[in-house]
Structure 1
């Protein structure tokens, strides 16, 4: 009964704290940490068996490593190799050396403890940083990609660090050279067995589970492979995280990869949240209250050292000062793998329990401070430091093409491909620089420019062209182009893409008569396939779709007169639905 009460308390704390933290823009990890602080021994004391919770929550870290391995396909790692190995390797090495030296010479720690502390504090929190960047859509930027590369290297570096940790210990785990060689041999043999066995056994196991047509058996198979590999590797003297990581890499090119990820993510998210809760519960609050200045100074010192290293590496790697500061802000905290490393260091005698507890408290404080610092950076520093220097528009050279395409996304590209196949020249304008660079790699000729500027339309040949295709995704921009074309280039016949009925009405307000609603044709074709699959004759399917299309076009024209009046628009929509129903009923009666 007591165990069930503990589960209820933990779940209630997580359910309350995480939404509150997200509501104020601080992310889920901070909510989990706060929940642990509140319900733990230093808070309300509702949960006291911190050790049991911590052991159970370690599975969350194992599953996180598995998911990292699952995403780490060799091809992806090869593309990111320079940033991962160069920037990530430099960050870990430089930070570990600086922090380790400060720990040894500044704090007087023994060399083994200083080495563990330096490496452990060089790591950042993958579970905290990636959600923060993703929520703000910053992962696609250069600083976001570099931050991800550094985190990826850190996640990889923890594997050999944990494997080599016993070499720093004095607990008798590796007492002599023969014992060391035996331990290395056991580790290498375990890795070889996992790689060979995984290559020949994993896919047959998944095929067998899939053939059972039972989702719970498939999930059980995934968990068996992950946890079984982790336990097997741990039995050979290595870490469970290494085993889980290797299991993920083995499955990274599997056809079951996406299904495996969908099955594991809920477990990983909940257990990793429990891991953060256990960290909050285990925080040495009495020590913090006894020496608040010391521990706050150590946490701030850690973040300043890491930030200085990251800013320097960012500038050396070509990042602007704003991007370097942002990368330093999000990566300056300690990470969850530091807790794992410090705990293992105590078990092998490389650190004392007091040293590990102090280090964990410093990491916890730095993690608590990160969301606040990131919010401050976004509000006050980023607007001043991150200056987007606009890329100059292309100099447009046109040979009198009869067709001008504004917007070369998924719609404009199809128009251009067919025109090219027919030998009809065209000039394409696209204002998204990344899109321009992307389509050019496939041999498309497109100019980087803003089609809402009259001088660029003129330079693109709008005065001599015959047809203007407005294929812009943004409604306001497409309307602006139409207005400019009708005012300055009346010679053009305008054909426009409409995202929806409202967009179509706005285009009709501006005199455009050639309008194509982007989802109508594809939706009708899909509906036709559905009807044929259900057994309707082809001529009946065609008649049904033609009836619907003709009635919908008439309704669109009729609603144009009242589209600014929502009440009348709703009324005409209901009338149109009744009319369409009557048409289909009359059609059935005639047959």
Structure 2
């Protein structure tokens, strides 16, 4: 019965945790505050300092740290050793500069609050260790991990993960003489163990992992491949833990060593569900760990310390970023994202407490400050996103449209525009291309295409791009409202040109008919017909039968489209489909009945 009661209690805790996530995260995302803050708020609500539905957040936190470990493994899979080597200056140069400057300033903040310099140093050093989980999740939500500014942040996080070992050594050095017995081994031995663990992991990654996965792939046991993926992640984390290093660092290195493996995508797919669930559990546990009693009894110190440390760290990060020649926008973004303390501070403070460098009261206050700073970060990020003015777009390498006179004007140089351009070039056309995305323009220039900057909805831009000379104006952008506005403007101002417009879907195509566009092409219609043609052949149809099916589909679609036009929205206009392309024809007095 006792075992049954224990199992029931565990099941209740699991249901409570999942329920908190399912309720809080969608609500906070709907409010524009992000998933991380939702997890933190949900954890605070059900934890021992909230509704007391879950009473042991520390145990959950230790298990949930595996979510951070798996996240770093997935990031490692995206970085091959060559790419990582290319980041070495950012990892050790930018990372060390930020850590040294921030440590000095944060130590000064502790001294200003009245603590001795050893206590201030340990408290400040813990706050220097940014939360990998918080920052990586926010970067992931924004899709910034693979961008240059995201890579710089990842580099600094990696350096801070490496920093936990020397910081633990410094704590042992600062310990009182009568606490020296707490150190289990001398410094040189711990450094040797760490290097041995790193060497063993690298050796296993080079000579063992790929042959292992080839053997498992030949066995064709899907569940065993999943088990092997988890074994690699957890095994690497355990090896680094035994070596006195960060578990997250071990998982990251394992990912890097497998980044060029043919099994990389399979590994990522196997780990992803566990990573997302455990990372969410980690944020819930952090929320549950916020001791409201400590915050309430020492609220001036905790709140003031949180704001002072976050402001000092943010100012330091901004200054270092600007010194390293980052743009103002990137420096502000990095400062806001990395202004909090991190999960590795808990490890540092626990060790400092065990060796009597800090008191239990300092440990409780600093732990509350770290958790509070982690909770504030998503809120500050969301507030900055709403209030900050967008940074001016760089026009470097971009030329505005001016005095052009091609006979074909293409507006938008994305996937569709690139293909249309090639078709026009095969006919020997004199092409002018404009786009409003500077990144697209710069990328196109690398491949020999001259694309000019300009908003196709503006009459002056169209004149500058030579629309009054054009025989055809082709609108290829994927923004429905913008495409409709461009079509209206171009048809009114440049009636001599054939107006050919890309439509997002059927509703958009109907709206474009109203603008008198000469040709309207739904972007998915032709590809869907080709897929249907291939499906008919797969079912045994001959080429002629498949072609007949295709013609019948075109006929039915043409009739439905004509009825929709005549049925109220655009009565008085007919639509003729030539080879699957919707083309507005002359007005008719009465729409066909079928």
| TM-score interval, normalised by the smaller of the two chains | 0.7 to 0.9
Pair 1:515-2:529 in alignment? no
Distance in 2 of aligned mates of 1:237 and 1:89: 20
Conserved 8 A contact 2:435-2:452: yes
Distance in 2 of aligned mates of 1:54 and 1:464: 67
Which of 436, 439, 446 in structure 2 is aligned with 1:441? 446
Pair 1:156-2:162 in alignment? no
Q: Report the CA distance between 1:434 and its aligned residue.
A: 1.6
- Change over 3 Å in CA distance of 1:14–1:451 after alignment to 2: closer
Pair 1:124-2:130 in alignment? yes
Q: Report the CA distance between 1:247 and its aligned residue.
A: 1.2
Match of 2:365, SS state, is helix
- Correspondence 1:187-226 to 2 at 5 A: 187-226=194-233
How many residues align? The count is 558
- Change over 3 Å in CA distance of 1:103–1:221 after alignment to 2: same
Distance in 1 of aligned mates of 2:570 and 2:18: 49
Q: Which ranges of structure 2 fall in alignment gaps of 5 or more residues?
A: 572-594
Pair 1:274-2:296 in alignment? no
Q: Report the CA distance between 1:56 and its aligned residue.
A: 2.2
Indicate the RMSD between aligned Cα atoms, in angstroms.
3.4
Pair 1:502-2:512 in alignment? no
- Deviation string 1:164-222 (CA, Å, 9 cap, x unpaired) is 6235315557677xx44443333222222211221222122223333343432221111
Distance in 1 of aligned mates of 2:12 and 2:145: 43
Conserved 8 A contact 1:166-1:174: no
Which residue in 1 is equivalent to 2:429? 424
Distance in 1 of aligned mates of 2:14 and 2:483: 55
Distance in 2 of aligned mates of 1:59 and 1:451: 50
Which of 292, 296, 300 in structure 1 is aligned with 2:307? 300
Pair 1:240-2:274 in alignment? no
Distance in 1 of aligned mates of 2:541 and 2:46: 63
- Correspondence 1:35-434 to 2 at 5 A: 35-77=42-84, 87-103=94-110, 107-109=114-116, 111=118, 113-132=119-138, 135=141, 137=142, 139=144, 146=149, 149-162=152-165, 165-166=168-169, 168-169=171-172, 171-172=180-181, 179-317=186-324, 324-346=331-353, 351=358, 353-380=360-387, 382-383=388-389, 386=390, 388=392, 391=395, 394-396=399-401, 400-434=405-439
- Change over 3 Å in CA distance of 1:105–1:494 after alignment to 2: closer
Distance in 1 of aligned mates of 2:148 and 2:527: 36
Distance in 1 of aligned mates of 2:503 and 2:289: 57
- Deviation string 1:435-460 (CA, Å, 9 cap, x unpaired) is 11111111111111122222222222
Q: Report the CA distance between 1:548 and its aligned residue.
A: 1.5
Distance in 1 of aligned mates of 2:563 and 2:52: 68
Match of 1:462, SS state, is coil
Conserved 8 A contact 1:322-1:387: yes
- After TM superposition, the score normalised by the length of structure 1 is 0.83
Q: Report the CA distance between 1:243 and its aligned residue.
A: 2.1
- Deviation string 1:365-397 (CA, Å, 9 cap, x unpaired) is 2222334433443444x14xx453685983546
- Change over 3 Å in CA distance of 1:186–1:123 after alignment to 2: closer
Distance in 2 of aligned mates of 1:327 and 1:246: 24
Match of 2:569, SS state, is coil
- Deviation string 1:110-154 (CA, Å, 9 cap, x unpaired) is 53x54443332123334334544665x58499xx96366235412
Q: Report the CA distance between 1:361 and its aligned residue.
A: 0.9
Which residue in 2 is equivalent to 1:31? 38
- After TM superposition, the score normalised by the length of structure 2 is 0.83
Q: Report the CA distance between 1:316 and its aligned residue.
A: 4.0
Distance in 2 of aligned mates of 1:348 and 1:529: 72
Q: Report the CA distance between 1:399 and its aligned residue.
A: 6.8
Conserved 8 A contact 2:36-2:137: no
Conserved 8 A contact 1:130-1:148: no
- Deviation string 1:335-389 (CA, Å, 9 cap, x unpaired) is 2332344335545666555433322111112222334433443444x14xx4536
Q: Which sits farther off after the overlay, 199-208 or 440-449? A: 199-208
Match of 2:130, SS state, is coil
Match of 1:515, SS state, is strand
Conserved 8 A contact 2:107-2:123: yes
Which residue in 1 is equivalent to 2:546? 541
Match of 2:306, SS state, is helix
Distance in 1 of aligned mates of 2:96 and 2:435: 38
Match of 1:429, SS state, is strand
Distance in 1 of aligned mates of 2:457 and 2:491: 12
Which residue in 1 is equivalent to 2:457? 452
